[in-house]
Structure 1
Amino acid sequence: MTGRRIRFGVWAPVHGPRAALRDPREPFDASWEHNKAVVLEAEELGFDSTLIAQHTVNPHLPDHDQLEAWTAAAALAALTSRIEIIAAIKPYILHPVFLAKMALQIENISGARFGINLVNAWNKSEFEKAGIAFGEHDGRYGYGREWLSVVSRLVSGESVSHRGEHFAISDYRLTPKDLHRQRPAIYIGGESEPARVLVAEQGDVWFINGQPLADVAGLVADLRRRPRAGAPLRFGLSAFVIARQTEDEARQEEGRLLALAAAAGDVQALQGRNADPKAAMFQTMAKSARLGTNGGTAAGLVGSYEQVSERIVAFHRAGIELFMLQFQPLRAEMRRFADEIFPRVRALEAGSAARALSDA
């Protein structure tokens, strides 16, 4: 167990549905109004966090809409009162000084509910069409490591002078600093060796792509063995959920979505052409048929309400604190999860805590 209460988050629909982009039960909608409605409802239902992925153009259907992550994060910070707002960032896109200023502003708007999710990026086309060099996989992590070292110092209120391979910064300090805590939380995704080095060194939370429990437990154990300064690293898991009264009903819905996803060959072909083959996310996802992004149903959260709840608690025992979840149809399934899974998981948590006390 992590010693921390299980937290649940939801991916914002920044580029439409996560499992099948052409679903009659989930019409494509990446608009600001839809994203706002989803996050406000998630907060009302009791979800703890939302993740806003960063893309400039839609990575799956280039002629379709794409929400901008950081302006949306600022607006959501002002509109919400409790839910954590996590915005992804690809370091090549924004200079660390200006990104750090934006992060501090959103942190102060939200009242200490903001998180920065550093991602290495996989969509070459998004960069190359803008005339930005995409860089080799490990080189991007080298850039990101230096970039984040500048950002983390600036958002902590330090006066920063830095001379490195990529940045030259002289006596730069941002005010006002974080009004509520030392700095916003730093989430890092990626499972390659350079990603693991970076998260052990500079991250607060490691986002792991959806995959079987044994694999996740091995990843958590590997990071816990690594030298680290400061507070212990925490862990999050991405997963696509299909929960029903019975496992058969869940498998039927899984089959419906798999058939829709399989029919979208153009989406898969585009993703294959644009994806960096060294991205560990795609290597992980290639191990099994799945729905959703970032591992999706490979985490095994498909089944009856009891099965899904028990699997969540098993992941928690392995070290996962935050479950960043995907659903389709999104809002209806968020409600189902809140109604059926929240109480079951809390009951299992309470039972585990009571047993731990009796054993002490």
Structure 2
Amino acid sequence: MPGGIRPRFGVWAVVYGSWGPFGHPDDPVDASWERNKRLVVEADRLGFDSTLIAQHVVNPFGDELDQLETWTSAAALAALTDRIEIIAAIKPYLVHPVVLAKQALQIEEISGGRFGLNLVNAWFKPELHRAGIPFAEHDERYAYGREWITVVRGLLTGERVSFHGKYFHVEDYQLRPVSRTRTRPALYVGGESEPARALVADTADVWFLNGQPRREVERLIADVAARPGTGPGVRFGLSAFVVARETDAEAEAELAALWELAEAGKARWEALVADADPKAVMFQTFAKYPHIGTNGGTAAGLVGSYDTVARRIREWTGLGIETFMLQFQPFETEMRRFAEHVLPRVRESAPQAF
């Protein structure tokens, strides 16, 4: 594998009920615990390395729709799986860092060291506004998040923490037990704005990037890698929606069918965008690169024959991408297809790495 990277493959838990266009005949909108449990347990069995449980309190596609709760589900999945990493997203404004650090350490113990925390900056304004929680300006949210993760990171490693900042005042706090298998749970950070990149350089183990063309990802990685504060261990992840078939033509035909469904349901997407922070770089990027799926989806280019998708994954690893967080539709069917046809092709290219 180029660069000696062993690629890791994850799946997004279906917290909204679907990651593709609503209305797919073989993919009913279902965000239930039972479905997510079956999906992640099967992903564990199929050999996927991680699952990401995005965090919302209400479904941003419509509050009449179900929404899976992230942290209770993460704890349950940690107990039900054997090897897959459980990554739970967190929006700092929703939970105090002392409380969140304790929850994270408990899931770390339940999982036996298979837990990751994904720090994300809130972008969905109604979720906070309607609960009476102030939705601060973009850069202030990152300043808040920086203090928040500083407290959490210290507590996760077992330090006795005293911290006095603009937003948090913590005095002589220490948590037990800490991880029994490593220094602390892994820290994933999302966001691509200037404050986000600075936070990644200073705090992240893995930076999650949205799916977008190679030249843009290459530019972002180079920017963070060149920052003086970037630790030597910072790694890179990419979100992608996969459409893989026997031939490129079959994959493109399936993508065209998904676009038809997306066009029929575009009102939901437009309503979501209207409720998003316009300063969120993620949505500025999405406007440049039309895609199926969330977080860049098909803009990452994992559409084509099994050989084409495997080749493009190898190209991404050559750029430095280690973790691929994947979406599919219908999710379960296409997840199995990827495990059967694409994973072996990737792994055969570098058998010594697996």
Category of TM-score, reference length = shorter chain:
over 0.9
**Aligned with 2:163: secondary structure?**
strand
| Aligned residue in 2 for 1:295 | 296
Q: Is the 8 A contact 1:237 1:322 kept in 2?
A: yes
Amino acid at match of 1:107: E
Q: Is the 8 A contact 2:91 2:122 kept in 1?
A: yes
**Aligned with 2:11: secondary structure?**
strand
**Aligned with 1:10: secondary structure?**
strand
Higher mean Cα deviation, 225-234 or 28-37? 225-234
Q: Indicate whether 1:212 and 2:181 are aligned.
A: no
Size of the alignment, in residue pairs? 352
What TM-score results when the alignment is normalised by the length of structure 2? 0.97
Provide the C-alpha distance between the structure 2 equivalents of 1:229 and 1:190, rounded to a whole number of angstroms.
16
Provide the C-alpha distance between the structure 2 equivalents of 1:238 and 1:306, rounded to a whole number of angstroms.
20
| Aligned residue in 2 for 1:92 | 93
CA deviations on 1:236-263 (whole Å, 9 max, x unpaired) are 0000000001111111111111111111
Provide the C-alpha distance between the structure 2 equivalents of 1:211 and 1:259, rounded to a whole number of angstroms.
21
Q: Indicate whether 1:233 and 2:245 are aligned.
A: no
The within-5 A match list for 1:173-188 is 173-188=174-189
Amino acid at match of 1:245: E
| Aligned residue in 2 for 1:37 | 38
| Aligned residue in 2 for 1:119 | 120
| Aligned residue in 1 for 2:171 | 170
How far residue 2 of structure 1 moved from its aligned partner, in angstroms, is: 4.6
How far residue 214 of structure 1 moved from its aligned partner, in angstroms, is: 1.8
Distance 1:173 1:218, change over 3 A: same
Provide the C-alpha distance between the structure 1 equivalents of 2:233 and 2:38, rounded to a whole number of angstroms.
35
Provide the C-alpha distance between the structure 2 equivalents of 1:236 and 1:256, rounded to a whole number of angstroms.
28
How far residue 268 of structure 1 moved from its aligned partner, in angstroms, is: 1.7
Q: Is the 8 A contact 1:301 1:308 kept in 2?
A: yes
Q: Is the 8 A contact 1:2 1:321 kept in 2?
A: no
**Aligned with 2:349: secondary structure?**
helix
How far residue 222 of structure 1 moved from its aligned partner, in angstroms, is: 1.3
How far residue 3 of structure 1 moved from its aligned partner, in angstroms, is: 3.0
How far residue 287 of structure 1 moved from its aligned partner, in angstroms, is: 1.0
How far residue 91 of structure 1 moved from its aligned partner, in angstroms, is: 0.2
How far residue 273 of structure 1 moved from its aligned partner, in angstroms, is: 1.8
| Aligned residue in 1 for 2:132 | 131
Higher mean Cα deviation, 251-260 or 111-120? 251-260
Q: Is the 8 A contact 2:201 2:231 kept in 1?
A: no
Amino acid at match of 1:97: V
**Aligned with 1:99: secondary structure?**
helix
Q: Is the 8 A contact 2:52 2:87 kept in 1?
A: yes
| Aligned residue in 1 for 2:306 | 305
Q: Is the 8 A contact 1:10 1:326 kept in 2?
A: yes
Q: Identity rate of aligned residues, in percent?
A: 60
CA deviations on 1:57-94 (whole Å, 9 max, x unpaired) are 00112101000000000000000010000000000000
Q: Is the 8 A contact 1:108 1:180 kept in 2?
A: no
What TM-score results when the alignment is normalised by the length of structure 1? 0.96
Amino acid at match of 2:209: I
Provide the C-alpha distance between the structure 2 equivalents of 1:107 and 1:320, rounded to a whole number of angstroms.
25
| Aligned residue in 2 for 1:108 | 109
| Aligned residue in 1 for 2:59 | 58
The within-5 A match list for 1:263-282 is 263-282=264-283
In angstroms, what is the RMSD of aligned CA positions?
1.2
Provide the C-alpha distance between the structure 1 equivalents of 2:204 and 2:284, rounded to a whole number of angstroms.
23
Q: Is the 8 A contact 1:32 1:67 kept in 2?
A: yes
Amino acid at match of 1:70: W
Q: Indicate whether 1:260 and 2:267 are aligned.
A: no
Q: Is the 8 A contact 1:22 1:260 kept in 2?
A: yes
**Aligned with 2:288: secondary structure?**
coil
Q: Is the 8 A contact 1:2 1:320 kept in 2?
A: no
Amino acid at match of 1:178: S
Q: Is the 8 A contact 1:313 1:349 kept in 2?
A: no
Q: Is the 8 A contact 2:15 2:54 kept in 1?
A: yes
| Aligned residue in 1 for 2:335 | 334
| Aligned residue in 2 for 1:4 | 5
**Gapped regions of structure 1 (runs ≥ 5):** 354-360
Provide the C-alpha distance between the structure 2 equivalents of 1:288 and 1:117, rounded to a whole number of angstroms.
24
Distance 1:209 1:221, change over 3 A: same
**Aligned with 2:126: secondary structure?**
helix
**Gapped regions of structure 2 (runs ≥ 5):** none
| Aligned residue in 1 for 2:68 | 67
Moved over 4 A (4+): none
How far residue 230 of structure 1 moved from its aligned partner, in angstroms, is: 4.3
Q: Is the 8 A contact 2:86 2:114 kept in 1?
A: yes
| Aligned residue in 2 for 1:357 | none
How far residue 228 of structure 1 moved from its aligned partner, in angstroms, is: 2.9
Provide the C-alpha distance between the structure 2 equivalents of 1:3 and 1:129, rounded to a whole number of angstroms.
48
